Amino acid sequence: MARVLITGASDGLGLAAARSLIADGHAVTAHVRSEGRAEEVSDLLAGAEAVITGDLADRQETVDVARQANMLGRFDAVIHNAGIGSNEPKKITTRDGNAHVLAINALAPFLLTALIERPKRLVYVTSGMHLRGTANVRDMNWETRSWDAEQAYADSKLAMITLAFAVARIWPDVLANAMEPGWVPTKMAGYNAPDDLSLGHVTQIWLAVADDPRAAVTGRYFYHQQEQEPLPLAHDERFQEEVLKAMEALTSVVLPR
């Protein structure tokens, strides 16, 4: 049995992963956005070891999510599943002054990675859209660029996969990998998406708990349990350090070395 924390576990792939892991006898801690949402999905998350709450768009609430997680003890795996899509026609700014899509898709995983006691495995749910990401680290928050929702999403997912590979390099005792579920029919991706929803959560579970030697690797990128080639920039150590410095500056938290 493994102890697994899943962010964004109230619906979509996060909920599917949580329910599958619970059914297999693992101890699941499910993160949801609010107490109200936790009550709404209490039946769906029946059997979870714990439920923790916090809005990952908000820095202080994300810090509190890490605090709640640490109070429960060390996890075997943390799955950074929570995310939003590219459907913000105008830039939304959080109360911390960050672009909403960046805050949830990249800054929250960074904060939780830095603040939660190191697990044995880290899984970052990214997207094939990271291949369209740009290296504009100096304007991660879209303060000087004209807003482009799809580009902002792609950039946030590039930042996330780069974080995964940086962690794999800096923390050799942790298995840190990224995966993409495909374009599956969820609320975020749209219900007309063509990929198989039943397979969307399988790879994140596999990377989190499987004894399969193919999953016991680090610094890799997967799609349907098959290793894929990410944007080469994500493996570049200099770029990784630039991304980490940018996220540290935006969150006022430093990734432990």
Count of other CB atoms within 10 angstroms of residue 153: 24
Which of the following is catalytic: 91, 124, 153, 221? 153
Nearest to 181 by CA among 220, 234, 127: 127
Q: Is 221 a catalytic residue?
A: no
Q: From CA 195, how far away is CA 202, in angstroms rounded?
A: 13
**What whole-number distance in Å separates Cα of residue 35 and Cα of residue 190?**
26
CA distance 152 to 149: 5
Bridge partners of 53?
32
Distance from C-alpha of 83 to C-alpha of 159, rounded to nearest angstrom: 13
**Contact (Cβ atoms closer than 8 angstroms) between residue 149 and residue 86:** yes
Query: How far is C-alpha 56 from the geometric centre of its chain's CA atoms?
Result: 11
Per the CB < 8 A criterion, the answer to whether 3 and 54 are in contact is: no
157 assigned to active site: yes
Q: Which residue is catalytic, options 91, 157, 187, 221?
A: 157
Residues assigned a catalytic role: 153, 157
